[in-house]
Amino acid sequence: MNEALDGPLNEAVNLPAVTAGPAKLVRRAPGEPIVGLALGSGSARGWAHIGVLRALAALGIEPQIVTGCSVGALVAAAWASGRLDALEAWVRRLDWWQMLNFVDLGPGALIAGERLRTACIEHIGEHDIETLPVRFGCVATDLARGREVWFQSGSLLDAVRASMALPGVFPPVRGEDGAWLVDGGLVDPVPVSLARALGAERVIAVNLNGDIVGRHLVRRRRSPAEVLIEPVAARLSALFGREREPPPAPDSTLPVPLEDAQPGLFEVLFSAMNIMQDRITRSRMAGDPPDMLLAPRLAHLALVEFDRAAEAIEVGRIAVEQHRAALLAAVGRPLPAGEP
């Protein structure tokens, strides 16, 4: 575990030296660059990473380095440990009734979600990062000092647990040095810098937050996720002695403009989180842009709609298909014969 980024996000900083793990970097063909893949945060939207990995493999692009943040760390870990098939099969079976069974209230979060996180992590297995066949790294945030923390060795499970400790959803995780760690999306939602530090010469980044600002401030039919968190919001309103507006009718499909309805607690919370992650991502990528950026269009999915995996996976696949020529060029591959 290493710390990075001691200064403000928009300042140049000296990143720590990285001791390479046992995974040897081998060029796929003479003259081809070492390819790294940086998978960004985005909670339930992160299932799109599965579609991205599948589509890249179909193009013959298999990165030697993979980094992730939050749910991106989970998918990256599953891929690096050879368990992506098991993770995909599980998330495709998820429905919102199963999601209800994963809800558990606890300290440090409105919805602790420990059962859900434990179920996710069961699908990557017990490994030491150093034993993985590809180089892996993920990002968390030191809650007390606001610093970025890099995981490049040690327990893969512990690293992923820390990286996906989304504030308000999952409780913080205690690090080896006693620090409380939370979601890496607070400091680096798409860890391009970590991929380069691990040896990547070309970095493909996947940003899940490119079109989400303001999307939660248009009310539509209530999703299962909103039904799931409604009792928590009601309890908080009662605690502060306020009456909540009645939620939109479950069968209502027409948007209600923001001017006509005050946004609810979780609309405000999720919109604020969207703004924060969008601005941090823009700032970080301005300082260290990837060689190729994929931005799947996922604004229609809420942060906690984990039961819509099939949609997200397909959107990730489409994002790769739409940019196949640019992706092949970025990794030094020619287009297949006969393609324009």
Q: What is the pLDDT of residues 185-212, one digit of tens each?
A: 999 999 999 999 999 999 999 999 877 6
70 catalytically annotated: yes
- What are the tokens at 263? 């946004």
Residue 30 token pair: 């003479």
Helix locations, 81-139, DSSP H: 84-93, 96-102, 114-121
Q: Which of 5-9, 161-165, 262-266, 335-339 has the lowest mean pLDDT?
A: 5-9
Do 224 and 307 contact (CB within 8 A), yes or no? yes
142, 158, 183, 288: which one is catalytic? 183
Backbone Cα Rg of the chain: 20
Query: Is pLDDT of 229 > 70?
Result: no
- From first CA to last CA, the distance across the chain in angstroms is 45
Catalytic residue from among 41, 43, 70, 193: 70
Residue 296 pLDDT > 80: yes
Confidence of residue 181 (pLDDT cuts 50, 70, 90): very high
Task: Identify the weakest region by mean pLDDT among 26-35, 60-69, 311-320.
Answer: 26-35
pLDDT tens for 4-56 read 544 333 333 333 334 444 466 767 677 789 999 999 998 889 999 999 999 99
Q: What's the pLDDT band for 337 if we cut at 50, 70, 90?
A: low
Tell me whether residue 41 is one of the annotated catalytic residues: no
**Residue 231 confidence class, pLDDT cut points 50, 70, 90:** low
Residues 91, 71: Cα–Cα separation, whole Å: 12
Give the residue carrying structure tokens 């931005």: 295
For residue 251, pLDDT over 60 is answered with: no
What average pLDDT score do residues 93-100 get? 81
Q: Look at residue 264 in the predicted model and tell me its pLDDT.
A: 67
Q: How many residues does the chain have?
A: 340
Residue 36 bridge partners (DSSP): 65, 203
